[in-house]
Amino acid sequence: MLTCRHLATRPRIDTDMTARAIEAPEQEQKRAALGYLHSAWVEARIEGIDGDCLAQACLFAAFAEFVTTYGEEAAAHFAEGLPVRIRNGEFSLAAVRQ
């Protein structure tokens, strides 16, 4: 299982927001990352970028980062588990009912 790279190994940027992010637990880091990605996604869609094109670019960027961080074998091992996780609904967004 891949987890967020330990923050101490990353280059430090000297801002208050980054300092708070460095101290945040991994789940909070993931939530913040999803928030940034969601904002960028919305902005790209407003600019007319197709959702499928965005998804492919995001997957490429994500796997390139995994390979850079963990190596090809670990990234491939992670990818091997994706079919089961997808079929189990782990990536399905629950519909909000009102």
Q: Give the domain ranges of the chain.
A: 12-49, 50-98
Give the integer Cα–Cα distance in Å for 16 and 18: 5
> What confidence category does residue 94 fall into, taking pLDDT thresholds of 50, 70 and 90?
confident
> How many Cβ atoms are within 10 Å of 81's Cβ, its own excluded?
11
Mean pLDDT of the chain: 82
In angstroms, what is the C-alpha Rg of the chain? 16
Q: Convert the pLDDT of each residue in 4-59 to its tens digit.
A: 554 444 444 344 555 555 566 888 999 999 999 999 999 999 999 999 999 999 99
User: Does the model's pTM come out above 0.75?
Assistant: no
CA–CA dist 85, 92 (Å, integer): 10
The answer to whether 61 touches 70, Cβ cutoff 8 Å, is no
